[in-house]
Amino acid sequence: MTPLTRADVAAMIDHTLLAPEATAADVDALIVEARKLGVYAICVSPSMLPVRAPGLVVATVAGFPSGKHHSLVKGAEARLAVDQGAAEVDMVIDVGAALAGDFNAVLSEVITVREAVEDRAVLKVIIESAALTDAAIVGACRAAEQGGADFVKTSTGFHPAGGASAHAVGLMAETVGGRLGVKASGGIRTAQDAAAMIEAGATRLGLSKSAAVLDGFAD
């Protein structure tokens, strides 16, 4: 495998600020840092939209972080975010539905959000992999694909069960078979963490500590 360069990894990063105490000034600082680091996108809370970030993709979240929002609320939140300039939406599934094996419920809510944003945005589906069994991870990924998602994503980074793991990323990548992207997010704080996720099959990384991670890769 060709060694990953700093630029290779930066091009995969959603530079993320989803802390509930974040201010408009914090978002401005995030954008400045994102440009300096050369990352692909920024990801901010929907209440912070709209933001001006020329040269960067703007991503946001829906049903975050619990996923226990009505699917119509998730859809409305996603549609409003896109109307306010978001090009990508990371939605949280009802994790309990996936744990219970009710993948039709997961499918239904993914379809609802997909229809709400139409083809105007990239849709990533957060399955909270650390809280799921392997079988539930597979079922949730299949439902996400069937519902029209563009990516499956490991984690919100807020669940007590933990964030991304190379095992979950590998299972997700195997399930979607290159037809969808795989975003690893949650607890990725070092270059070694990032490299492990990419080797497992991640095609996008959600990071809040992007600078520290990128410092571990050679130019």
Active-site residues, by number, are 90, 153, 183
3-state SS track over the chain: CCCCCHHHHHCCEEEEECCCCCCHHHHHHHHHHHHHHCCCEEEECHHHCCCCCCCCEEEEEECCCCCCCCHHHHHHHHHHHHHCCCCEEEEECCHHHHHCCCHHHHHHHHHHHHHHHCCCCEEEEECCHHHCCHHHHHHHHHHHHHCCCCEEECCCCCCCCCCCCHHHHHHHHHHHCCCCEEEEECCCCCHHHHHHHHHHCCCEEEECCHHHHHCCCCC
